[in-house]
Amino acid sequence: QITLKESGPTLVKPTQTLTLTCTFSGFSLATSGVGVGWIRQPPGKALEWLALIYGNDLKRYSPSLQSRLTVTRDTSKNQVVLTMTNMDPVDAGTYFCAHRPYDPFGSMYFDYWGQGALVAVSS
């Protein structure tokens, strides 16, 4: 059974760096083609894809946020970490990590999601 869970601060100040950890079980990030992605959702708004990391350490980022994002993995701990610099109130919302399955067509989609971590940005 695949599970994922996000953890991190619920409140960050403007200009600070947000660090979120995704701890997962039920799959190995070392499996070819498998990845862990990050998606966020401001309150009452649309989903927005942020980043994806594969077991071979290949990383993909949303071009609009790439300069502020870093995603890393620790396969021994079954964890993926997302950092986002220079946080702003518009970055507030729920941040989800999710499992990207192997796909023979190379598509990016997510079949298992964490419960989400709600992050507020305020001084």
CA distance linking residue 25 with residue 41, whole number of Å: 23
Told to check if 109 binds other proteins by CB under 8 A, we report yes
Interface segment toward other proteins; rule CB under 8 A; list 13-21, 24-32, 41-49, 74-82: 41-49
CA distance linking residue 15 with residue 76, whole number of Å: 31
Per-residue interface string for the shown chain with other proteins, residues 49-78, x marking contact by CB under 8 A: x------------xxx--------------
Residues near other proteins (CB under 8 A), total: 21
CA distance linking residue 116 with residue 64, whole number of Å: 22
CB of 16 to other proteins, least distance (A): 25
Which residues, other chains included, contact 82 with Cβ-Cβ below 8 Å and sequence gap of 6+?
18, 19, 20, 22, 38, 50, 51, 69, 70, 71, 95, 97
Interacting residues toward other proteins by CB under 8 A: 39, 45-49, 62-64, 96, 98, 105, 107-111, 113-116
